[in-house]
Amino acid sequence: MTYVYYLLLSALLFALGAYGAMRRRSVLLLLMSVELMLNAANLGLITFARAWGSLAAQGAALLVVALAAAEVAVGLALVVAVFRVRESTTVDDLSELKG
């Protein structure tokens, strides 16, 4: 039964991250929200790994950690590049590619 609390925490964190990703206009906060969602998913994975004693889910969690690192590296690099051109880190300014 204790797993339920972990899963609830995971869901809460994910919801916070999703809310942040939709509401925040700063690129940096957007990236942090995405990180939050990734780690919420990680928490879920670990919880299930504990519950079923499965190593595969733990492996998946490690993979997510590596992916998140790479994502942040690329994301921050993009933020720096965009900032040099636009002098701004607001995502709503980057809306030229619309239909």
Partner 1 sequence: MLLAIGLPLLGFLVLGLFGRRFKEPTPGVLASALVGLSFSISVYLLFVGGERFALADWLPGIPLALSFDHLSGYMALVVTGIGFLIHVYAIGYMAGDEGFSRFFAYFNFFIAAMLTLVFADSYPVMFIGWEGVGLASFLLIGFWYADWKNADSARKAFVVNRIGDLGFLLGMAALYAFFGTLSISGLKEAIEGSLVLPAGLGLVGLLLFVAAVGKSAQVPLMVWLPDAMAGPTPVSALIHAATMVTAGVYLLARSSFLYVNLPDVSYWIAVIGVLTALYGALSALGQWDIKKIIAYSTISQLGYMFLAVGVGAYWIALFHVMTHAFYKALLFLASGSVIHALHGEQDVRKMGGLKKYLPRTHLHGLIGALSLAGFPLMAGFWSKDAIITATLTHPFGGLGFYLVALFTAFLTAIYAMRWYVLVFLGEYRGQGHPHEAPAVMTVPNDVLAFGATFAGFLALPEPFWNLIEPFLAPALAEVEAHPFGLWTEWGLILLSAVVALVGLWAGYTLYANYFKKKLPEWYRAFERAALEAFYVDKIYNAFLVNPAKETAKLLGFTDRGLDATYVATASEVGALGRVLARLQTGYARFYAFLILFFAGLFVLWGVVR
Least CB distance from residue 53 to partner 1, whole Å? 25
Cβ within 8 Å of residue 80, ≥6 positions away: none
Does position 85 interact with partner 1 (CB under 8 A)? The reply is no
DSSP bridge pairs for 90 = 26
Q: Which is nearer to partner 1, 24 or 50 (CB)?
A: 24
- Which pair of structure tokens corresponds to residue 8? 């609830």
Least Å distance between CB 18 and partner 1?
6
Site membership for partner 1, residue 92 (CB under 8 A): yes
Nearest distance from C-beta of residue 55 to partner 1, angstroms: 26
Cβ-count burial 44-58 (b if 16+ within 10 Å, e if not): bbbbbbeeeeeeebe
Q: Which is nearer to partner 1, 18 or 58 (CB)?
A: 18
